[in-house]
């Protein structure tokens, strides 16, 4: 039997070509980190305000005067003159008021009389710099432009609010936004006093095979060897089924997975495997205590006829629709829609462009580079990305921001041990001023909430540590 990593051959290319997010969205690994808004209804109603700020379309071209309106949230409930500014940075998602209504950053703002902001990233959520997301209009979707937006926001807030003109700034980010927080401190240390980066990928790499290795090991650690073997067997049998293409077997697949229509063997099978692999990836990357265990209950339930039936039952337990649509042509059509508000433009089309443009951890294991380029072009209509241009972009990104060897102080980095993204982040302290903590038993962005009784002793200690570090960065006893 093949290893689970080998059986994840569709993650090996398409997951990162698409920006590592499936179309069926059984697990959306690009949504805003979850916070329960119901817990903070009073805070949301009375103290959180939605606002907009003008930004330049091109921050680096003085001859281009075009502007657009960036959305953000503000909570000044604890404001005192000179108190710190806390900014929760938005990533590739639509922001909500939750993270400035509760959570660990909120606790710090309360204790330190800070003012909280939550900024929305250009091209995501409701922050639309251009009339649509055509390839030409996505030209200004880059890390450099996003960082410049953030810095302009800080400067404008300090210049227009007397109580904040002398305030120090603390940044908080999760996942890609954690990378932005780290790089903002690196490039603009005169404006940013410190940053907390939860699950920040910092190293750009073409062949990101480590994602699958950590994913497989995490399934084994949390779910157990028997569960991992059931997932492996399910993928193995599905491969065999499609190799023989017997009608009765294909009917079984339609039934087990509640497919909306029979799969086209020439076009839909690759998409089908990718979605299944992505669903397992989402289970691990988005794991909270009990999630992987719940998936393993399905896989180990002896009431199912076989591993494929068990896998289908679990996948369908995650599906909110009556059936699973695995039509490849429908996917292509969805991605080519450039209208704001369409399914593709909630985040996927933009993120696909950004990942291709800046080569953030693309996995090309066992695939030709030509096939990768053509697939990206067909999905979203972007230009061909040659291997040479991808390698050049990877080198440029790591040279510009430092990769694993960036020279930065006052950044606290945290990663979950079972997070598949961990290998692309820091694994040890950069220096005495920029420590790193690897959180056992946790996955992606799992440490943003307030200290709770369910937290492990290590997680509690880490949360207390960031509070202590922020006080140090602010020169507060």
**Are residues 172 and 44 both part of a single domain?**
yes
Q: Phi-psi region for residue 269, left (φ > 0), alpha (ψ -120 to 50) or beta? A: alpha
155 or 329, greater pLDDT: 155
pLDDT at 222: 96
**Are residues 250 and 318 both part of a single domain?**
yes
**CA–CA dist 226, 324 (Å, integer):** 27
Domain residues for the domain of 237 are 4-28+217-330
- Let me know if residue 82 belongs to a domain: yes
- Let me know if residue 67 belongs to a domain: yes
**Are residues 24 and 79 both part of a single domain?**
no
User: Residue 351's pLDDT band (boundaries 50, 70, 90)?
Assistant: confident
- Let me know if residue 457 belongs to a domain: yes
pLDDT at 112: 98
User: Residue 382's pLDDT band (boundaries 50, 70, 90)?
Assistant: low
**Are residues 180 and 255 both part of a single domain?**
no
**Domain end residue (candidates: 330, 347, 369):** 330
Q: What percent of the chain has pLDDT over 70?
A: 85
- Let me know if residue 459 belongs to a domain: yes
Tell me: the pLDDT tens digits for 268-320? 888 888 889 889 999 999 998 899 999 999 999 999 999 999 999 999 998 88
Lowest mean pLDDT among 10-14, 248-252, 313-317: 10-14
pLDDT at 4: 53
What residues does 52 pair with on adjacent strands? 71
Tell me: the pLDDT tens digits for 35-81? 766 666 666 666 899 999 999 999 999 999 999 999 999 999 999 99
**Are residues 113 and 260 both part of a single domain?**
no
**Domain end residue (candidates: 298, 330, 362):** 330
Q: How many domains does the chain have?
A: 2
Q: What percent of the chain has pLDDT over 90?
A: 65
Lowest mean pLDDT among 29-38, 201-210, 258-267: 29-38
Radius of gyration of the chain from its Cα atoms, rounded to whole angstroms: 23
**Dihedral of the alpha carbons of 382, 32, 109, 455, in degrees to the nearest 10:** -130
pLDDT at 13: 37
**Are residues 59 and 177 both part of a single domain?**
yes
Contact 246, 266 (CB under 8 A): no
145 or 347, greater pLDDT: 145
**Domain end residue (candidates: 330, 358, 376):** 330
**Are residues 190 and 242 both part of a single domain?**
no
Q: What CATH code is carried by the domain that includes residue 432? A: 3.40.50.1820
**Are residues 133 and 267 both part of a single domain?**
no
pLDDT at 177: 96
**Are residues 228 and 307 both part of a single domain?**
yes
pLDDT at 148: 98
**What is the mean predicted confidence (pLDDT) over 221-240?**
94
φ, ψ for residue 415, nearest 5 deg: -140, 150
pLDDT at 363: 45
Show the DSSP H helices in 361-455 as ranges: 369-380, 387-401
User: Residue 3's pLDDT band (boundaries 50, 70, 90)?
Assistant: low
- Let me know if residue 211 belongs to a domain: no
pLDDT at 42: 60
**What is the mean predicted confidence (pLDDT) over 395-418?**
94
**Are residues 120 and 61 both part of a single domain?**
yes
pLDDT at 365: 36
26 or 248, greater pLDDT: 248
Enumerate residues 6+ apart whose C-beta is below 8 A from 197.
Answer: 173, 178, 179, 181, 182, 411, 412, 413, 414
Mean pLDDT of the chain: 87
pLDDT at 293: 96
- Let me know if residue 318 belongs to a domain: yes
pLDDT at 260: 94
pLDDT at 348: 76
Contact 75, 161 (CB under 8 A): no
**Dihedral of the alpha carbons of 454, 458, 464, 469, in degrees to the nearest 10:** -150
**What is the mean predicted confidence (pLDDT) over 149-178?**
97
Given the DSSP bridges, would you call strands 115-119 and 169-174 parallel, antiparallel or unpaired? unpaired
**Are residues 193 and 259 both part of a single domain?**
no
**pLDDT over 50 (residue 14):** no
DSSP tag of 320 = -
**Are residues 60 and 110 both part of a single domain?**
yes
* Closest by CA position to 12, among listed 213, 311, 175: 213
What residues does 196 pair with on adjacent strands? 172, 412
> Listing from the earlier edge strand, what are the strands of the sheet with 85-89?
48-56, 67-75, 115-119, 85-89, 169-174, 194-198, 411-416, 436-439
């Amino acid at each position: 039997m093949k290893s689970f990593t080998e059986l994840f051959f569709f993650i090996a290319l398409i997951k990162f070509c698409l920006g590592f997010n499936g179309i069926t969205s059984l697990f959306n690994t690009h949504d805003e980190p979850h916070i329960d808004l119901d817990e903070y209804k009073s805070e949301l109603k009375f103290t959180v305000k939605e606002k907009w700020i003008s930004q330049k379309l091109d921050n680096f071209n003085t001859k281009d005067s075009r502007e657009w309106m960036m959305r953000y949230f503000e909570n000044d409930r604890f404001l005192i003159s000179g108190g710190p500014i806390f900014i929760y940075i938005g990533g590739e998602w639509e922001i909500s008021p939750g993270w400035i209504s509760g959570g660990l950053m909120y606790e710090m703002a309360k204790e330190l009389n800070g003012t909280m902001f939550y900024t929305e990233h250009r091209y995501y959520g409701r922050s639309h710099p251009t009339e649509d997301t055509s390839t030409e209009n996505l030209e200004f979707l880059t890390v450099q432009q996003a960082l410049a937006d953030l810095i302009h926001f800080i400067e404008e807030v300090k210049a227009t609010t007397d109580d904040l003109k002398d305030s120090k700034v603390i940044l908080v980010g999760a996942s890609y936004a954690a990378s932005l927080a780290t790089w903002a401190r690196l490039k603009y240390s005169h404006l940013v006093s410190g940053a907390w980066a939860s699950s920040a990928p910092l190293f750009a790499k073409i062949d990101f095979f480590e994602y699958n290795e950590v994913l497989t090991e995490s399934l084994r650690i949390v779910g157990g060897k028997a569960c991992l073997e059931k997932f492996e067997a399910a993928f193995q049998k599905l491969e065999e089924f499609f190799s023989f293409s017997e009608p009765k077997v294909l009917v079984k697949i339609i039934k087990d997975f509640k497919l909306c229509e029979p799969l086209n063997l020439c076009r839909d099978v690759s998409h089908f495997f990718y979605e299944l692999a992505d669903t397992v990836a989402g289970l691990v990357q988005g794991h909270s205590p009990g999630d992987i265990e719940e998936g393993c209950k399905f896989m180990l339930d002896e009431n199912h006829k076989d591993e494929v039936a068990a896998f289908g039952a679990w996948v369908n337990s995650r599906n909110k629709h009556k059936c699973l649509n695995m039509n490849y042509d429908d996917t292509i059509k969805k991605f080519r829609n450039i209208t704001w508000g369409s399914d593709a433009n909630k985040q996927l089309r933009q993120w696909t462009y950004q990942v291709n443009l800046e080569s953030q951890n693309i996995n090309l294991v066992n695939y030709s580079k030509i096939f990768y380029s053509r697939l990206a072009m067909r999905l979203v209509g972007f230009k061909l990305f040659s291997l040479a241009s991808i390698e050049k972009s990877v080198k440029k990104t790591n040279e510009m921001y430092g990769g694993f060897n960036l020279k930065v102080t006052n950044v606290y980095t945290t990663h979950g041990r079972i997070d598949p993204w961990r290998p692309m982040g820091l694994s040890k302290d950069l220096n005495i001023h920029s420590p790193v903590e690897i959180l056992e038993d946790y996955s992606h962005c799992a440490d943003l909430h307030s200290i709770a009784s369910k937290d492990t002793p290590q997680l509690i200690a880490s949360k207390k540590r960031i509070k202590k570090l922020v006080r140090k960065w602010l020169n507060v006893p």
